Amino acid sequence: MIRILPPDVANKIAAGEVVERPASVVKELVENSLDAGATRVLIEIEEGGKRLIRVTDDGDGMGREDLELAFTAHATSKIASVDELFRIVTYGFRGEALASIGSVSRTTITTRRRNEDLGHRLVCEGGALGQPHDAGGPEGTVIEVRDLFYNVPARRKFLKADGPEVARISEVLTRMALARPDLHIELRHHDRKVLHCENSSDLEARITGLFGRELAGKLLPISDRSEGLSVGGYIGLPEVARPSASRQYIVVNDRFVKDKSLQAAVARGFEGFLMPRRFPVFFLRIDIDPAAIDVNVHPMKTELRFREKNRVFAGVQRACRAALGSSAPAGRLVLSPDRSYEAVAETPRDPALPQTRRERVAEMEASLYEGSLQGTTRTETPTPARPGPGPGRPPAGKGRGCRPRLETASICESEPRFIQVHGSYILVEDADGFHVVDQHALHERMIYERLLDRVDRGERGSQRLLVPAVAELSPMEKLKIMARVEDLERLGLEIEDFGGAAVAILAVPLELGKIGYEALLRAVLDAVDEDLAEGFRTMHQRVIATMACRSAVTFNERLSDERIRDLLAWQRANPSKAACPHGRPTRVRIGLDELERQFLRKD
């Protein structure tokens, strides 16, 4: 039987599209403030916004008549006709936000118009409206949202701890601050200042305030203009590219949006400049005729459609190529002078491996289950012959790096003989050939497994530093790392606030060896930056992989015989762990048959 839903049920269903969490409420309320002409917005929250969200602005305010309609669904002052829907210049236009928020919280609005002596107040509790009455207050509007989802417990239980919720709110406000550099925004959590952005007409100054001088100093301005379209903003030098798209911001007509085609346009502009699986940093601003876009795509209003998508794509790509072309030759890989190729390649990443790499790793792991390091009959793909000595080419064993060391006798019959080559690879003899072991990848996997095993058992293990290591971060970086303090402590990484934008590292996991603590912290930041709202279980494996990579032995690092034996013993005891946490194989096997073919002893 088909039934018409009661109004309170219908309102709660509609609220689910607009109000997902405290950050959604903040976004809608601040957008209302901007549409009211506000230049200063103060956001105060308690318990990550679950207990209280208070937004105070200096906008135009509302009269009594407008206030009575504020919580009515589809009541708006932004548009009045279908034609206006396709030339939207305001942030809001659907007339859903306050009705949705009021249906799942206890909301109070206090407002006073400019040049009026008296203001008005209205309370809405779970969708039930009270009577408006006169009230004092400053010019502008104050909206208090208390006990979010108090009447929808199924939704409330999906909210995260205070830290991640505060970080999500801060991210929403960061996007707005980048879209509107002229806006003064302040966020306070339990009366403690979390984010403070002074108004500015300069986007670069806004970026500096939010992300720090180090990043701002490695940005290139971009510009491309054509009829009815202006592309501007900044892109980061290739050396500041990240393992995720977390530093990609797109603003269209002063509105933050998410658009994969524009992200692809920037990526296309960076072709030939980036290592694989690295994401450029960019702050993209597009100004376009409002009639050339459709923002009525999703209730959150973060998606849009372009009438001339290809034209916009081409403009963004041209702007990026022009900026990069002025800083380095096109098609040339750009790396920072103080970073080696190995350091860039080893930066943690977590995307799916290409199909060919997945197949190789799967095949390798299957073969390791069937045999041990001492022997296997697996047939390998032929390896191309290496060029022999010739003019300008040193004989084998006399190239760069240290001379290979051969251990001519094993400790016992079951232990294979080995050679360390160039301080980077270990050659291990077996019954039918030898293995080439990547010492960094193997050590990384060993640390990863030990740390993961301890965390999965619920044990905490850390080594305290004699002197805390202090790291200077940007305001946004500090906010995000502090939002994960409790989770990181469970991994053995203890961090505390050191004032300003600094944090102090007090302890690191027991499993880590010598390591640069600030570099470790920044790598961990990359790992937790992908999704601030995800749970510990989803996040901790990625962070552990990052810490393991940063603390593992490096290339060109000479190892003692005893340390090599420890690595090989762990590999023999864990034959299924044939790749590092990021997908690189820990070893490659070359059989005697392959050697004989290379030396033309066998067809």
The residue with greater pLDDT, 359 or 43, is: 43
Residue that the structure tokens 């400019």 belong to: 114
Structure tokens at 78: 């932004």
Nearest to 578 by CA among 408, 423, 377, 370: 370
* Amino acid 148: pLDDT: 95
Instruction: Give the bridge partners for 433, in sequence order.
Output: 430, 591
Say how far apart CA 42 and CA 273 lie, in whole Å: 41
Asked whether the predicted pLDDT for residue 399 surpasses 80, the reply is no
* Amino acid 411: pLDDT: 37
Residue 412 binned pLDDT confidence (cut-offs 50, 70, 90): very low
Q: Each residue of 359-383: b (16+ CB within 10 Å) or e? A: ebbeebeebbeebbbeebeeeeeee
- Residue 65, burial from CB neighbour count under 10 angstroms (0-12, 13-18, 19+): exposed
CA 171-488-190 angle, 5° bins:
50
* Amino acid 514: pLDDT: 67
Domains observed in the chain: 7-197 (3.30.565.10), 203-335 (3.30.230.10), 340-381+402-603 (3.30.1370.100)
DSSP count for the chain of H helices, then E strands? 20, 24
* pTM for this model (two decimals): 0.70
- What Cα–Cα distance (Å) separates residue 240 from each residue in 214, 218, 236, 335, 433? 10, 7, 6, 9, 43
* Amino acid 17: pLDDT: 64
Ranked by mean pLDDT, the top range of 130-134, 284-288, 498-502 is: 284-288
* Other residues' Cβ atoms within 10 Å of the Cβ of residue 287: 15
* Amino acid 37: pLDDT: 92
- Mean pLDDT for 281-297 is 89
* Amino acid 11: pLDDT: 65
Per the rule left: phi > 0, alpha: psi between -120 and 50, beta: everything else, 354 is beta
Residue 284 binned pLDDT confidence (cut-offs 50, 70, 90): very high
Say how far apart CA 348 and CA 545 lie, in whole Å: 7
Determine what percent of the chain is predicted with pLDDT higher than 90. 34
The residue with greater pLDDT, 371 or 232, is: 232
- Mean pLDDT for 176-189 is 95
Residue 267 binned pLDDT confidence (cut-offs 50, 70, 90): very high
Residue 230 binned pLDDT confidence (cut-offs 50, 70, 90): very high
SS3 440: helix
- What Cα–Cα distance (Å) separates residue 124 from each residue in 69, 304, 388? 12, 32, 83
* Amino acid 392: pLDDT: 40
CA 136 vs. chain centroid, Å, equals 44
Residue 383 binned pLDDT confidence (cut-offs 50, 70, 90): very low
* Amino acid 286: pLDDT: 95
Asked whether the predicted pLDDT for residue 291 surpasses 60, the reply is yes
* Amino acid 477: pLDDT: 84
Q: Each residue of 468-499: b (16+ CB within 10 Å) or e? A: bbebebbbbbbbbbbbbeebbbebbbbbeebe
Asked whether the predicted pLDDT for residue 130 surpasses 80, the reply is yes
Structure tokens at 246: 């977390």
* Amino acid 127: pLDDT: 87
* Amino acid 358: pLDDT: 42
Picking from 176-180, 382-386, 596-600, which range would have the lowest pLDDT averaged per residue?
382-386
Residue that the structure tokens 């409002």 belong to: 290
Q: Each residue of 299-322: b (16+ CB within 10 Å) or e? A: bebbebebeeeebbbbbbbbbbbe
- Mean pLDDT for 159-185 is 92
For the stretch 15-61, pLDDT in tens is: 666 788 999 999 999 999 999 999 999 999 999 999 999 999 999 99
Say how far apart CA 168 and CA 475 lie, in whole Å: 14
Residue that the structure tokens 């509609």 belong to: 14
Residue 352 binned pLDDT confidence (cut-offs 50, 70, 90): very low
Q: What is the mean pLDDT of the chain?
A: 79
Asked whether the predicted pLDDT for residue 534 surpasses 70, the reply is no
Say how far apart CA 286 and CA 453 lie, in whole Å: 48
Say how far apart CA 13 and CA 3 lie, in whole Å: 15
* Amino acid 261: pLDDT: 92
Asked whether the predicted pLDDT for residue 353 surpasses 80, the reply is no
Residue 348 binned pLDDT confidence (cut-offs 50, 70, 90): very low
Instruction: Give the bridge partners for 375, in sequence order.
Output: 372
For the stretch 67-126, pLDDT in tens is: 888 888 766 766 556 666 666 667 766 667 888 899 999 999 999 998 888 999 999 999
Ranked by mean pLDDT, the top range of 54-58, 164-168, 396-400 is: 54-58
Picking from 123-137, 237-251, 507-521, 553-567, which range would have the lowest pLDDT averaged per residue?
507-521
Question: What is the DSSP secondary structure assignment for residue 240, as one 8-state letter?
Answer: G
For the stretch 293-343, pLDDT in tens is: 888 676 666 788 898 999 999 999 999 999 998 654 333 333 333 332 232
Picking from 153-167, 314-328, 379-393, 475-489, which range would have the lowest pLDDT averaged per residue?
379-393
Nearest to 104 by CA among 50, 147, 48, 166: 147
**How large is the angle between the packed helices 439-456 and 536-551, nearest 10 degrees?**
140
- What Cα–Cα distance (Å) separates residue 152 from each residue in 104, 144, 435, 519, 576? 7, 19, 60, 43, 47
- Mean pLDDT for 407-429 is 72
- Mean pLDDT for 388-392 is 41
Q: 424, 439 in Cβ contact below 8 A?
A: yes
Asked whether the predicted pLDDT for residue 249 surpasses 90, the reply is yes
Phi then psi dihedrals of residue 404, to 5 deg: -55, 145
Determine what percent of the chain is predicted with pLDDT higher than 70. 77
Asked whether the predicted pLDDT for residue 484 surpasses 80, the reply is yes
- Mean pLDDT for 516-526 is 78
